[in-house]
Amino acid sequence: MPGLIALVIIVVLVGIIVAIYNGLITKRNRVQEAASDIDVQLKRRYDLIPNLVNTVKGYATHERELFEKVTAARAGMMTGSTGERIKASNELTETLKSIFAVAEAYPDLKANQNFLSLQAELTDTQDKIMASQRFYNSNVRDFNTAIQVFPTNLFASVLGFKEFEFIEATTTETANVEVKF
């Protein structure tokens, strides 16, 4: 009888460890999937940038420095870790604001259907990037919480699970916006 009780305890403990491990694997895969979703949206925006630049170039040929900045920022978007790509993406967003500001000086460009379509696509893509980042952060939160709470924390470090970093807003994004009338 004591051997049967010991066997049941061992089976229950193994079952608990397997359940914890499988739960952590599932949460880690969700974080990785969310990071991949961000990459998909960054790639989409990466592919739209040349079309936008070429459209604006036709109207604003003397804005060469701005186009070079966009090209340089775009080049940094598809290399490095997810965090580095997000940083490069944020730099590109700032540069794109300059392109849209330049467009204000060219009424024909502002009315150009191709430009308007590209601008709408970029806005939509930016919204999707932000949604993907929120989805990523919520999955990171769930995973990090799972490996920090008892009893999972006892097994997580032994099994090699490490925390993921959150995507945080840049200094530029958190600065107060000055509104002038």
- What is the CA angle 95-128-170, rounded to 5? 45
Domain interval for residue 94: 2-160
| pLDDT tier at 142, thresholds 50, 70, 90 | very high
Q: Please check whether residue 175 lies inside any domain of the structure.
A: no
pLDDT at 180 over 70: no
Burial status of residue 58 (CB atoms within 10 A of its CB: 0-12, 13-18, 19 or more): middle
More confident residue, 1 or 15: 15
Q: Please check whether residue 120 lies inside any domain of the structure.
A: yes
More confident residue, 15 or 66: 15
CATH number of the domain that 93 lies in? 1.20.1440.20
Specify the number of domains making up the chain: 1
What number is the average pLDDT over the span 27-56?
89
